[in-house]
Structure 1
Amino acid sequence: MSTSQSHLEPVGGQSLTRQERQILDHHACLAGLPAGPRERLIREQLGMSPTRYFQTLNALLDSVQALEYAPVTINRLRRVREDNRRKYW
């Protein structure tokens, strides 16, 4: 496995990585911003591309560890995901 993917390993495993915790901690601040400023802050504060951020965040939605760490955030995002599935699929 490449080192660029190594930060995803703990999802579904034993514990969240520092980067995964940062993503969950920053999500509330980033969620309401327009795309341009949000993408800039993701790059500056988290040191990752917006695509990787959203891929990781999506993977965290199915993680028990993420739910234990940030239950309000995870449950809200799960509801949004389910609403979108009903609306578009």
Structure 2
Amino acid sequence: MPLSDRDRAVLDFEAHWHGHSGAKEEALRAELALTPARYYQLLGRILESADAVAHDPVLVHRLRRLHAAQERERRSRARVLPASAR
């Protein structure tokens, strides 16, 4: 499925975002009319698309690597926690 205008806007926003997390949340609402939760849901879905890679391969591969590293970190923390803490 080809990227929509909103999908491209999300990728372009992420590619050009430089700032603090609080300011990013405000910018998401102002520029894209999205809550942070919805933005990250969309971004995760978009990153799975081959069309996203075609649109901005460097960004998409970087974000995929970051996501994979975060998943590995979450899994390793879950293994370390005692069963009663889960």
- Identify the TM-score tier after normalising by the shorter chain: 0.7 to 0.9
Per-residue deviation, 1:49: 1.2
* Unmatched runs of 5 consecutive residues or more in structure 2: 76-86
Per-residue deviation, 1:29: 2.8
The residue that corresponds to 1:53 in the other structure is 39
The residue that corresponds to 2:5 in the other structure is 18
Per-residue deviation, 1:61: 1.3
Deviations 1:23-79 (A, max 9, x none): 10110233x422211000001111111111110001111111111111111000000
Write out aligned runs for 1:24-63 (5 A): 24-30=11-17, 32-63=18-49
- Report % sequence identity: 32
3-state SS of paired residue (1:84): helix
Give the letter for the 1:16 counterpart.
L
Say which one has the larger Rg. 2
The residue that corresponds to 2:78 in the other structure is none
Q: How many residues align?
A: 75
Give the letter for the 2:57 counterpart.
P
The residue that corresponds to 2:81 in the other structure is none
Question: What is the root-mean-square deviation in Å for CA atoms of aligned residues?
Answer: 1.1
Q: 1:81 aligns with which of 51, 63, 67?
A: 67
